[in-house]
Amino acid sequence: MKEECIICKAPLEYLEQDVLMECAVCHKKEYSKTRCINGHYVCNECHTKGIDSIIGTCLEETGTDPILIMEKLMDMEFCHMHGPEHHIMVGSALLTAYKNAGGDLDLEAALLEMQSRGRSVPGGTCGFWGACGAGISSGMFVSIATKSTPLSEEEWGLSNQMTSCALQKIGEVGGPRCCKRDSYLSILAAIEFAEKNLGIKMEKHEITCHRSSQNNQCIGKKCPFSKAYSGQEKQ
């Protein structure tokens, strides 16, 4: 159907165990469970090439709706339908909207930190770790915003609660994965969480997905952002 492997567009396959693979772009060798059916493997670094452009885009933003900011990032050339770039984008959009809505934050420093942390979350964590990277990214947002460390008290708790809230929403919808859907769910959970726990009200607007034709595993009317959503309410 549409894009899967960024080299040959063939479908991806997920192996039961890590296998030593060579990146088809930079030729770095590392262990992974993911490749396309033609054998191509692309490392996280190459898959997210150009993602540092997020920082400049976010620093120019003045809006307080992280969904609108996320949409802009999703439309950028570096962003694929699925991939670990979303693990950075979710937190970046939230940090930007949070700052613009009155949050006490050095945005440039926060975005740089978000890049560093988000890059460490590899693709496929949703299925292999049981924790979607988009949801983890929302927890990173709260951690960075509150300056949490492993020795913090309230901030430590809030960061973990945020990740939990996002993963709960993601898990309720079920699989297979969709990086766009999971990003939306994480951001919506974070908007509500930030207002309740951090005292910062960010804007949000109704979301209707227009990328379903690019997703080979789209769940259609089961998705809360589908035009044909069969649930009781639309987000």
Q: Please name every residue paired with 14 in a beta bridge, in sequence order, or none if there are none.
A: 34
How far is Cα of residue 68 from the mean position of the Cα atoms in its chain?
14
CA–CA distance, 187 with 196 (Å, rounded to integer): 14
Indicate if 21 and 60 belong to the same structural domain: no
Beta strand ranges found along the chain (DSSP E): 12-22, 29-36
> Is 50 exceeded by the pLDDT of residue 234?
no
Q: 227 in a domain, yes or no?
A: no
Q: Cα Rg for the chain, rounded, in angstroms?
A: 17
Tell me, yes or no, whether 72 and 181 share the same domain: yes
Q: Are residues 124 and 172 in the same domain?
A: yes
Span 178-192, mean pLDDT?
97
- pLDDT, residue 216, reads 85
Residue 119 and residue 25 share a domain: no
Residue 3, in any domain of the structure = no
Residue range(s) defining the domain that contains residue 39 = 12-45
40 plus 91 within the same structural domain: no
Distance CA 98, CA 152 (A): 21
Are 124 and 87 members of one domain?
yes
Write the pLDDT tens digit of every residue in 79-101. Answer: 988 999 999 999 999 999 999 99
Q: Are residues 36 and 121 in the same domain?
A: no
